[in-house]
Every structure is written in structure tokens, then in C-alpha cells.
Amino acid sequence: MDVQVGKQSLQFQKAPYILSSASIVGKKEGEGPLGNCFDVVGDDDKFGQNTWEEAESTLQKEAFGMAVGKAELKKEDIRYLFSGDLLGQNIATSFGLMDYQVPLFGLYGACSTCGEALSLGAMCVAGGYADYVVSMTSSHFASAEKQFRFPLEYANQRPLSATWTVTGSGAYVLGTRRSKARITGITTGKIMDYGVKDSMNMGAAMAPAAADTICSNFRDFHRTPEDYDKIITGDLGTVGQEILIDLLKHEGYDISGVHTDCGIEIYDPKKQGTGAGGSGCGCSAVTLAAHFLPQVEKGKLGRILFVPTGALLSTVSFNEGKSVPGIAHAVVIEHAG
Amino acid sequence: MDVQVGKQSLQFQKAPYILSSASIVGKKEGEGPLGNCFDVVGDDDKFGQNTWEEAESTLQKEAFGMAVGKAELKKEDIRYLFSGDLLGQNIATSFGLMDYQVPLFGLYGACSTCGEALSLGAMCVAGGYADYVVSMTSSHFASAEKQFRFPLEYANQRPLSATWTVTGSGAYVLGTRRSKARITGITTGKIMDYGVKDSMNMGAAMAPAAADTICSNFRDFHRTPEDYDKIITGDLGTVGQEILIDLLKHEGYDISGVHTDCGIEIYDPKKQGTGAGGSGCGCSAVTLAAHFLPQVEKGKLGRILFVPTGALLSTVSFNEGKSVPGIAHAVVIEHAG
């Protein structure tokens, strides 16, 4: 059977296993509905560092260490690292991971990075290029606000469609050694641009990309929504979810019964004031690790489609009046008996 | 024979071919020693656009189109795109390539991105995941100065150790179809940090990473400098070259007879006032495409080690007093008879 399926998907013949995962989050995420599920919840969002960027680097450092430890491996066993973050020039990744001295492929997929890192990591292991790799990503509320929006001290108001950047990092060890979950396929996203220019409505900007990738996944694998126990987008939030479900209905697919979104799961918007939901690379990374992957490992979920979503903007592109294009990378994760 | 060699290298059993390459550069690069070798030299560094960022996006758009055309393919034949650039959140890549609607893996490796893109593209083709991929990158003098340094209008003075960001984009079609050059192996870099804090001396910041990757390549493949007709770093410039040769002498390797650097080749520093040499993701990408790859294709160079080098800083990390760590990714390119 061919590994290349359809126009933009791969079905792995030697599907790599997810040996372990780790999640570390900030105080607010710890107070949310998934608070008890994360490996580590910080009291102080600076995580003992002097700057927000150093705090985010610390998240990556800790998540890597925990994931490798849980897989009962040492850092020397990890042949390649696939990681990225939201900050300009990926500084959270570079400064967080450099001490481990593992060959690094730096990635940028905005908040779709967890999907991109898992995809490339899975391709790497399935291709025989490594016995163990780590795929990971992070985001931090305060470093992201500083990067993309206003100084926190300015106390800018936020529209209800805005999302709240998750402080957290999720890391995964992928490898050839058997475990309870494996990545059986991927669908790699194209950039979709419907011309949305509102950086405070990322859900609307990213929903077309999620719809396109999910649709491609169905076509390439000859599947329907019923073939998945859950279809889990990254950080569309409540506004983006509605658009996604609508867009896919126009394509003849009703995912309303199986769809959820990490940005919707991670916070309680009424109690926590988080607007349309959580966002950031860390959002999908920690929610998969802490909430969905354990259910796959236990067999409660047999097959899920995990679709982190990214908004490809910068302050420069925004200030120059450009639109906010989106991208989404899908990963098929199945229970391994 | 195993595809994994040594600690951080791969030797491809089905080595992917480089079917075509394309280079587009700005006016200054066109006036340099390699001016006649590039596919396109622009008269106007804005390339008909309104902003420097749009100009850089146009470079990527043109380079992709030319490379795919030279390989006698259509964009629909390209299964995956591997690309990145220097700008925050990779906007040159996203806005330049989105119209092609090819599944995209966005990368960030600073000026090592050409090596990272060729490495992942080669892994992808050799793994049977695609018949054709495009690996590419870009940089632009004016968008990079705006991103990292001072407004051009400020006319800031530059120390002699500073390099000049190349305006250009290089693209490569990799695939299974036979051609005159192939990627037979890769050595993926680790982040190296010797504590250099001077962002106007990138050569010194990146030389340790180049030395480490080249050394690892020699050890992993059981090779010496004599096994390569050329060892070509990305953008160390004259200051970095001296440090690299010294560092490798301490490891017992003398590469002085075979080493050159794309940043040294691309400009005439005395006539062009370019300081220590060229830099930027585009520097190594266009110099390989226009100058070195044709020599491999003709068999004048039998085997080269191409080692793009990146400095992992941002204005935020620099302003917060952090060092400038480096990374370098090596690609072994051989003549195919």
C-alpha cells in the first residue's frame, strides 16, 4: 500500500508510536476545567525567570525534560527535535532547548506548530531516520501580548471574539517502541486566505484553513466524520467553531457531533473572562497531551483527528494592512492495542 | 546499510535528485562577482511592490515559479513546500507562497534555513513521501534591516565585522527523477552558544555552530576535508571564516584548502562596501543555485558539503542582553553521472 494517499496526505505503513507526552501550564490554565490533568501548573507565570521570553523558554525546557523522562529515555537518545513558537525568530525555542544539544529543526506554523511538529516527527520516525524524536511547542500569554498586541500595563480592552493565549508547553516523544497510541497518518495544510483582517478575530481567520485540511483528510483517506471519535481543532474558539461547522456543511460533511476545539476545552470563558477561548501554539499542545491523548491511550477514543490551526500574521503584516491567512495541519492518532 | 549514520547524520539509500534550481537577486547582488550567474537580477529592489516585505514575498513567488518551470513541472506536481525566511512570523514566506496552494511546512533556522529546507525536503523524497518537493528561502536587505537593526533613513554606521543581508531567493526542486546532482546525506545541527553578544559580528557568533556541524559530518561519515571538493558555509564572512578554520584546526582538521563561504563569494567588499561579506537566508540559497550547483552538475565538483549557518537572535533577545547562539545544517551534494 502506498504511503502517499490522495493529494496531500500520508498513511504510515510503520506508524510511529507516541511514547510519552508532557504538559506544563500557567496559573490561569491550572484554574480551568482541565486544571487537574496537566503535569505541572506554575504558581508564578514568570517561572522564576526575569523576562516573559525566558519564562516561555523555561516552559519548553521543562516540557522536554518531562516527556523524555516519562519515556524512560535520556536526552542523548533523542536524535532530532522538532519545535517552534510564536515569537519573532523562534527565541523561546532556541533559548529553551539549546542546552540539551539535540539536533534541531526549527519550525514556524503559528498556532498550527504542534501539528507541524508531530507531522514531521512522525515522517522522520516512520522513514527510519530516528528511533526517537521529540515534537513540541509553546506559547505564553504575556510574551505573545508583547509580541502581537499591546503592553499588558496598557490594559487594552478585548472584543468577545478575541482569544486568550495559553501559557504552556506540550512535548511528545515519538518512536518505534510500542505504546498505547500511534500516529497513523497526516494531512498537511495549505495556506487559506479569505481576506479576514481583524487580528482580534483569529477564529474566523483560521476556520477556512481548518475546513480545507479536514475536507482534504476525508477525501484523501476516503473517510467521513463518523470515522473519527473526535475531530479536535487547535484554537478556533467558539466563533471559529461555528464558521468551521458551517463551511464543512457546505462541503457535505456534518462534523457537529464529533467536533471540539482545544481553545474551547481549556478555559471556562464565563468564569475566566477568556473571550472566545484559548489560543497559541501551547493551547493545542497541552490539551492533547493532558486531556485527549490519555483517552486514546486508554481506548476510550479509538481514532481522533487532531488539527492545530495557525494564523499567519505579524505586527508588520497587520500594520501594512494585509489579511490574516490561516493554515492547519491534521494528525490522525489511533489507539494501539 | 543503515540510513542513520553516527550521532546526527543520515545517508540516503535512495538519494533524492536536485532537478532544478532558481535564483533571483537584487541590484547590488547583480553588480557583484556572481552577477552573470543569477537567473534574474532586479533593477528595483522593491520588485514593483509597495513595501519591502511584499518585495521579499515577490522574490519567493518568482523563485518558486522559475524552479518548477525549469524542472518542467506544474505547481500541482509539487507535493510539499519547505520554506522560511528571517522576518518575524515568516511573513515573506506566507504571503509569497500562499497563492500556489501547495501544502507548506514553514521553517525557521535563521540564515541556516536553506540547509534545513534541503534536509527536510531530501528526507521527505527519500522516505517515499513525495515525488517532488520544493525547498527554498529568501532574505531582503531592506526588510532585514527594518526587522533587526535601524531604519535605513537613519544611515547608521556599520563596523567592518558586519555583514550585508543579501536580497534574493533561491528555490530547488527535489525529486526521484534522475538529474545531474543528488543529496546523498545530511548532518543536522545543534545550537551552539559561545556567548557572543555582538549582533554586528554574526560571523563570530555562527562559526562555532559551523565547526560543530562540519566536525560531526566528518565523524559520522568517517570522512576528512579531502573527501570534499569544496566545503561551503553560508554567511560566515571573512571574520567567521578565520574563526571556523581555527576551531577546526583544534579538532585536527585543516579545511583551509577546500573552504569557501557564500557570503565571501557573492560581493566584492572593497568595491561594494559590504563589510565582512553577505548574509541572510538568501545568501547561501542563491549562491548554491547560481554558482556551486552548476559546477556539481557539470562534474567539476564531485562532492561538496554545503553548510548554511544561522544566528538565532531577535531584537527582543538582543535587547534583553542575551547572547547570539548559532546553528548550521550540512547537506552533502554529489555529482550524479
ipTM: 0.97
The average pLDDT across A209-228 equals: 98
Same domain assignment for residues A122 and A214:
no
CA A221 to chain centre: 22
- B108 vs A51, A106, A313: nearest CB: A106
Domain range holding A330? 182-335
Residue ranges in chain B modelled with pLDDT below 70:
1
Chain A positions touching B190 (Cβ under 8 A) are 98, 101-104
Chain A positions touching B95 (Cβ under 8 A) are 317, 322, 325
Q: What percent of chain A has pLDDT over 90?
A: 90
Residue found under cell 492533547: A288
Chain A positions touching B51 (Cβ under 8 A) are 320
Please, which pLDDT band fits residue A156 given cuts at 50, 70 and 90? confident
pLDDT at B142: 92
pLDDT at B259: 98
How far apart CA A68 and CA A134 sit, in angstroms, is 8
Chain B positions touching A94 (Cβ under 8 A) are 191, 312, 317, 325, 327
Output the pTM of the full model.
Answer: 0.97
- B128 vs A3, A105, A189: nearest CB: A3
Whether residue A4 and residue B128 make contact (CB cut-off 8 A), yes or no, is yes
Whether residue A89 and residue B109 make contact (CB cut-off 8 A), yes or no, is no
Same domain assignment for residues A319 and A277:
yes
Where a domain ends, among A129, A157, A175?
Answer: A175
Distance from CA of B35 to the nearest CA of A (A): 30
Same domain assignment for residues A130 and A167:
yes
Same domain assignment for residues B12 and B143:
yes
Same domain assignment for residues B136 and B193:
no
Same domain assignment for residues B171 and B185:
no
Distance from CA of B307 to the nearest CA of A (A): 14
- A51 vs B103, B315, B320: nearest CB: B320
C-alpha cell of residue A130:
530516528
Where a domain ends, among A143, A175, A207?
Answer: A175
Same domain assignment for residues A120 and A229:
no
HSE on the CB side for A144, CA within 13 Å?
23
Whether residue B312 and residue A104 make contact (CB cut-off 8 A), yes or no, is no
Whether residue A103 and residue B325 make contact (CB cut-off 8 A), yes or no, is no
Distance from CA of B261 to the nearest CA of A (A): 22
What total of structural domains would you count in chain B?
2
Torsion from C-alpha of B11, A126, B81, A98, nearest 10 degrees: -70
Chain A positions touching B106 (Cβ under 8 A) are 107-109, 116, 312, 327
Residues A262 and A293: beta-carbon distance below 8 Å: no
Distance from CA of A199 to the nearest CA of B (A): 14
B266-313 residue pLDDT tens = 999 999 999 999 999 999 999 999 999 999 999 999 999 999 999 999
Chain A positions touching B81 (Cβ under 8 A) are none
Whether residue B123 and residue A119 make contact (CB cut-off 8 A), yes or no, is no
How far apart CA A84 and CA A86 sit, in angstroms, is 7
Residues A14 and A110: beta-carbon distance below 8 Å: no
Q: What burial class does residue B313 get, using C-beta atoms within 10 Å of its C-beta: 0-12 exposed, 13-18 middle, 19+ buried?
A: buried
Same domain assignment for residues A188 and A90:
no
Whether residue A188 and residue B316 make contact (CB cut-off 8 A), yes or no, is no
Distance from CA of A36 to the nearest CA of B (A): 33
Distance from CA of A91 to the nearest CA of B (A): 7
Type of residue numbered A226:
E
A255-297 residue pLDDT tens = 999 999 999 999 999 999 999 999 999 999 999 999 999 999 9
Residues A214 and A190: beta-carbon distance below 8 Å: no
Whether residue B4 and residue A91 make contact (CB cut-off 8 A), yes or no, is no
pLDDT at A138: 98
Q: What burial class does residue B273 get, using C-beta atoms within 10 Å of its C-beta: 0-12 exposed, 13-18 middle, 19+ buried?
A: exposed
How, if at all, do strands B303-307 and B17-25 pair? unpaired
Return all residues near A219 (Cβ < 8 A) that are at least 6 apart.
A6, A7
CA B335 to chain centre: 19
Please, which pLDDT band fits residue A154 given cuts at 50, 70 and 90? confident
Same domain assignment for residues B267 and B204:
yes
Scanning every residue of chain B, which has its alpha carbon at the shortest distance from the alpha carbon of A94?
B312
Where a domain ends, among A146, A175, A204?
Answer: A175
Please, which pLDDT band fits residue A1 given cuts at 50, 70 and 90? low
A262 torsion bin: left (phi>0), alpha (psi -120 to 50), beta (else): alpha
Whether residue B88 and residue A315 make contact (CB cut-off 8 A), yes or no, is yes
Q: Please report, for the domain that includes residue B94, its CATH number.
A: 3.40.47.40
Same domain assignment for residues B123 and B43:
yes
Residue found under cell 524524536: A133
- B325 vs A8, A94, A191: nearest CB: A94
pLDDT at B1: 65
* Listed residue (B315, B84, B324) closest to B207, CA to CA: B324
Chain B positions touching A90 (Cβ under 8 A) are 108, 312
C-alpha cell of residue A121:
516527527
The average pLDDT across A76-100 equals: 96
The average pLDDT across A9-29 equals: 97
Same domain assignment for residues A300 and A325:
yes
Q: Quote the DSSP letter at residue B16.
A: P
Task: Provide DSSP, B71-84.
Answer: TT--GGG--EEEEE
Give the residues across from A334 on adjacent strands: A182, A303
Whether residue B327 and residue A4 make contact (CB cut-off 8 A), yes or no, is no
Q: What mean pLDDT value characterizes chain A?
A: 96
Task: Provide DSSP, B23-48.
Answer: EEE-HHHHTSTTTTTSSEE-SSTTTT
pLDDT at A27: 97
Whether residue B120 and residue A97 make contact (CB cut-off 8 A), yes or no, is no
- Find which of A50, A108, A322 to mutate to test the B interface (most B CBs within 10 Å of its CB): A108
* Listed residue (A164, A181, A177, A204) closest to A311, CA to CA: A204
Type of residue numbered A50:
N
Residue A179: other Cβ atoms inside 10 A: 16
Q: At B122, is the secondary structure helix, strand, or coil?
A: helix
How far apart CA B281 and CA B86 sit, in angstroms, is 7
Whether residue B88 and residue A119 make contact (CB cut-off 8 A), yes or no, is no
Same domain assignment for residues A64 and A210:
no
